[in-house]
Amino acid sequence: MRLSPLWANKANNMLFSSISFLYYFLPVVLGLYFIAPGKFKNFILLVASLFFYFYGEPVYSLLMVASIVSGYLHGLWINRARGGRCAKIPLVSSIIVSIGFLVFFKYTDFFIENVNSIFGTNIALLKIIMPIGISFYTFQILSYTIDVYRGEAKVQRNILNFATYVSLFPQLIAGPIVRYTDIEAELAHRTHSFADIAYGINRFIMGLAKKVIIANTLGELGKVFSNANEKTVLFYWINAIAFMLQIYFDFSGYSDMAIGLGRIFGFHFLENFNYPFISKSLAEFWRRWHMSLGTWFRDYVYIPMGGNRVSKPRWIWNISVVWFLTGFWHGAQWNFIIWGLYYAVLLILEKHLFNKLLEKLHPAARHIYVMFFLVISFVIFNANSINEALVNLKGMFFMLDVPFTSFETNYYLGSYALVMTIAVIGATPAAKGIISRINRYNMGRLALSVFEPAVHVALFLLVTGYLVDGSFNPFLYFRF
């Protein structure tokens, strides 16, 4: 697993999986929130969210505030210009400002590097540190202004409510991408119940355990691979599969924590993952993985371009543009662009060449097909450069002068076999299915009512032990 240079600048961020968040920040915020009268709850959340962001990004907090003010004012302008001859001007202005912020802070050095490479110039890099969460809150602001323009959302005249929507700390730094229309009513009025709070706590703890116990442990295996003196074919495959599982448990665990925290505060965020690794096609995988991003590009890029209701060449163009943007959204590096275009090609081929063949295959064979191409994609995604991705792929396919396995590889395979097995099973709905069956019986429901809280308490204590004892606690999606 690579650790981007960004990590050096993110050490002070208040991760959900940190002692400072779990034992200081969150208890104080919850206490203030629930004792505050209803009309002050958004104010408490806003102040807490701004502090949460300021803790890790003091300077860039001003950028987020500027983005909030821009989105709020553009919403009012769009609403006021509705129906006029210049109705599109405020919308275009909103898009230019929001995307302008994103491009400048995330992609400027990438463009300079490529200009220097192509034209032999020596333009100095600005060495801008990317603000955490900018990709997420930019898309949230854009979804608001576009929906106001389309008439699908009412303009928000209360800047406190709008600022709360954009900066809401449970989903601020890494999503899911919450659309304004999804929580519009809850910004003005929301109810709280013990059932929702209990659900939120349980969901948060499960996400926390996924991230700290599984994802972090798999990340340690990635460090071992990077530092290994002798690489082997088997170790290349182990590393690729471990990273794929790591990023799933890292990001889906964060989404679980965000959804759980949102529920505690009375918000119902939509799901972001739906067991993607059980998919029988790549198209199905992308309906199950990072769903908030996929639906955002579908509704605000793909469909406005014509979607699939166009000629085949135009549809291929639409798919290519969407996946180019999806890859580029993930990072200012060529490997992300290639990763996006890789999926564009595969999805085009799957729809027009492989689809009929896939339907005839046994489900197990279809699953193997999906997993094979997913592993390749995550190797590309995880690389620091195109050359590194090629080296890792060559290592996996016997194209390097390395042995198939070694004592060192076998040792680490045995050491991490348990966590990888747990990760593979945990990435399926097997546990959910067992719990559902137990719930069919009265005795089963009674047993679960005692067993589940005990498990959650034990997991929370175990996570605390991990956090107190260990120091390896990155969050991969900070870099996006």
Q: Token match 């400002």: residue? A: 97
- Cβ atoms < 10 Å from Cβ of 233: 20
Residue 200 confidence (pLDDT) = 97
Residue 57 confidence (pLDDT) = 84
Count the residues in the chain. 480
Q: pLDDT tens digit string along 118-143?
A: 999 999 999 998 998 999 999 999 99
Pair (220, 173) in one structural domain: no
Q: pLDDT tens digit string along 257-286?
A: 999 999 999 999 999 999 999 999 999 999
Which residues, at least 6 apart from 447, have a Cβ–Cβ distance to it below 8 Å?
Answer: 438
Instruction: Share the mean pLDDT of the chain.
Output: 92
From CA 91, how far away is CA 71, in angstroms rounded?
10
Q: Give the range among 62-66, 388-392, 399-403, 449-453 with minimum mean pLDDT.
A: 449-453
Residue 9 confidence (pLDDT) = 39
Pair (240, 348) in one structural domain: yes
Pair (146, 205) in one structural domain: no
Residue 472 confidence (pLDDT) = 58
- Domain presence at residue 124: yes
- Domain presence at residue 394: yes
Long-range contacts of 144-148 (CB under 8 A, 24+ apart): 144/71, 144/75, 144/179, 144/180, 145/71, 145/74, 145/75, 145/78, 145/91, 145/94, 145/95, 145/98, 146/91, 146/95, 146/300, 147/179, 147/180, 147/181, 148/75, 148/78, 148/79
Structural domain that includes position 101: 36-190
> Looking at 190, 214, 244, which one is the last position of a domain?
190
Q: Which of 115, 132, 190, 112 is nearest to 13 (CA)?
A: 132
Q: pLDDT tens digit string along 21-61?
A: 999 999 999 999 999 999 999 999 999 999 999 998 899 99
Pair (74, 220) in one structural domain: no
Pair (380, 288) in one structural domain: yes
What's the number of domains the chain is made of?
A: 2
- Domain presence at residue 50: yes
Pair (269, 399) in one structural domain: yes
From CA 409, how far away is CA 405, in angstroms rounded?
6
Q: How far is CA 278 from CA 168, 369, 420, in A?
A: 32, 12, 16
- Give the mean model confidence (pLDDT) for residues 444-473: 86
Q: Which of 331, 333, 309, 329 is nearest to 321 (CA)?
A: 329
Residue 479 confidence (pLDDT) = 52
CA dihedral angle for residue 28, residue 34, residue 39, residue 40, rounded to 10 degrees = -10
Residue 7 has pLDDT above 80, yes or no: no
Pair (98, 203) in one structural domain: no
Residue 442 confidence (pLDDT) = 86
**Residue 477 pLDDT class (50, 70, 90 cuts):** low
Pair (284, 393) in one structural domain: yes
Pair (260, 334) in one structural domain: yes
Residue 173 confidence (pLDDT) = 84
**Do residues 75 and 142 touch, judged by C-beta distance below 8 A?**
no
**CB-count burial class (<10 Å; 0-12, 13-18, 19+) for 353:** exposed
Pair (82, 217) in one structural domain: no
- Domain presence at residue 92: yes
> Looking at 190, 209, 236, which one is the last position of a domain?
190
Q: Backbone dihedral region of 290: left (phi > 0), alpha (psi from -120 to 50 degrees) or beta? A: left
- Domain presence at residue 29: no
Q: Tokens standing for 198?
A: 């209990």
Residue 17, SS3 per DSSP: coil
Residue 1 confidence (pLDDT) = 40
Pair (212, 162) in one structural domain: no
Indicate which residues carry an active-site annotation.
330
From CA 414, how far away is CA 426, in angstroms rounded?
19
From CA 140, how far away is CA 121, in angstroms rounded?
37
From CA 341, how far away is CA 335, in angstroms rounded?
10
Q: pLDDT tens digit string along 388-445?
A: 999 999 999 999 999 999 999 999 999 999 999 999 999 999 988 998 899 888 888 8
pTM greater than 0.75: yes
Residue 149, SS3 per DSSP: helix
**Residue 478 pLDDT class (50, 70, 90 cuts):** low
Calculate helix-pair angle for 312-330, 334-349, nearest 10 degrees.
150
Pair (120, 82) in one structural domain: yes
> Looking at 190, 214, 233, which one is the last position of a domain?
190
